[in-house]
Amino acid sequence: MPRIAILLFTALCTASAADFSGSSALEFTRRAVAFGPRPAGSEANRALQAYIKSQLKLCGCEIMEDPFTASTPRGPVAMKNIIAKFPGKSGKAIALTGHYDTKVFPGFKFVGASDGGSSTGALLELARALSGRPRVDDVYIVFFDGEEAFGEWSDTDSVYGSKHVAAKWRADGTLGRLKALINLDMVGDAHLNIKREMNGNPALRRLFWNTAADLGYQAYFPADDTITIEDDHMPFVKLGVAAIDVIDFDYPPWHTAADTMDKVSAQSLEMVGRVTLEVVRRLE
């Protein structure tokens, strides 16, 4: 969370893409991490934005940019959320989200392979898997900027991008159409152990973990282990959205220079991605 060489076509969106490929997600993650540290407002962050949009354009989805300026402990910082929409017919919507920025660490090079990289790779592969397939509900895939705090995590210094989308969607009515929001964060750990995050919606959490068990992944999604985390799902939880956070916080390299690609696994990404896709199918 071994590098896997894959053919170029696995990174392309096609109408026949029927499932989630861990190898493809790993390659997307590797390409994101190759930009180096990617804190909000940085040149590398903007380069990754361009890469994300270039891949989404191959998926035939509607791409929306959500630029804004955040007030941070380091002053104003330009940020940008990227939203891909796969339209359905029901008038309802499901959102799959995660962040693509990395935390600033002046003392060392932090490339965030799992923390920022894996969510980026998983979301891009979800877009590939959803491409060209008819939908019941609108499905939004949202790449949040500015999840990381610039100083110590606090209510005012964190989750800038998700706060902005939540406010935007409340104003334009999208929030009221959401059946569910599933946030993915740190989902590439080769030693995957995703505990149930207890701030999220109980019914959606139960659906996600039951689906993981149905697919044979219960050892990686333990039903009895819990954790409580503040993450990009919280601005939506606070506004009444059925939202959950899927996060492997049992990850020793977290926020260290050791959070590198050798810690990320295609198998882990594939399990998370396949559970997520199946939950979307069951919600529809």
The answer to whether residue 3 is domain-embedded is: no
Distance CA 220, CA 205 (A): 15
Average pLDDT, stretch 246-260?
97
Q: What is the pLDDT of residues 75-103, one digit of tens each?
A: 999 999 999 999 999 999 999 999 999 99
Q: What is the pTM of this model?
A: 0.93
pLDDT score, position 147:
98
Average pLDDT, stretch 127-150?
96
Nearest to 247 by CA among 179, 176, 192, 202: 192
What is the tally of structural domains in the chain? 1
Band of pLDDT at residue 125, cut at 50, 70 and 90: very high
Q: What is the pLDDT of residues 160-209, one digit of tens each?
A: 999 999 999 999 999 999 999 999 999 999 999 999 999 999 999 999 99
The answer to whether residue 104 is domain-embedded is: yes
| pLDDT of 2 above 80 | no
The answer to whether residue 2 is domain-embedded is: no
pLDDT score, position 133:
86
Distance CA 24, CA 270 (A): 9
Distance CA 264, CA 88 (A): 33
How many Å is the maximal CA-CA distance in the chain? 50
The answer to whether residue 1 is domain-embedded is: no
**CA 61, 123, 121, 164: dihedral to nearest 10 degrees?**
100
Distance CA 247, CA 105 (A): 21
The answer to whether residue 137 is domain-embedded is: yes
Cα 121 to the chain's mean position, in Å? 8
H or E, element range at 98: strand 93-99
The answer to whether residue 170 is domain-embedded is: yes
Residue 163, domain CATH = 3.40.630.10
Contact 269, 26 (CB under 8 A): yes
Q: Which two tokens stand for residue 155?
A: 């209510």
The answer to whether residue 238 is domain-embedded is: yes
Query: What domain range is 85 assigned to?
Result: 8-283
The answer to whether residue 47 is domain-embedded is: yes
